Amino acid sequence: MGEIVMGCLAPHPPHLVYADNPEQNEPVSEGG
């Protein structure tokens, strides 16, 4: 599962926006 999460984070540039909100960044990374 860890590999899938990392793979989803890499191709998802939008995560940069969530980076501002650590609280949201955590759940988003888990959901993929």
Q: What is the pLDDT of residues 1-32, one digit of tens each?
A: 555 555 555 555 555 555 555 555 555 555 44
8 burial (CB, 10 Å; 0-12 / 13-18 / 19+) is middle
User: What would you report as the CA-atom Rg of the chain, rounded to the nearest whole angstrom?
Assistant: 9
Provide the token pair at 8. 């989803």
Q: What is the pLDDT of residue 25?
A: 52
Q: Kindly report the pTM of this predicted structure.
A: 0.15
Q: What is the pLDDT of residue 32?
A: 46
- The phi, psi pair for 5, rounded to 5°, reads -60, -45
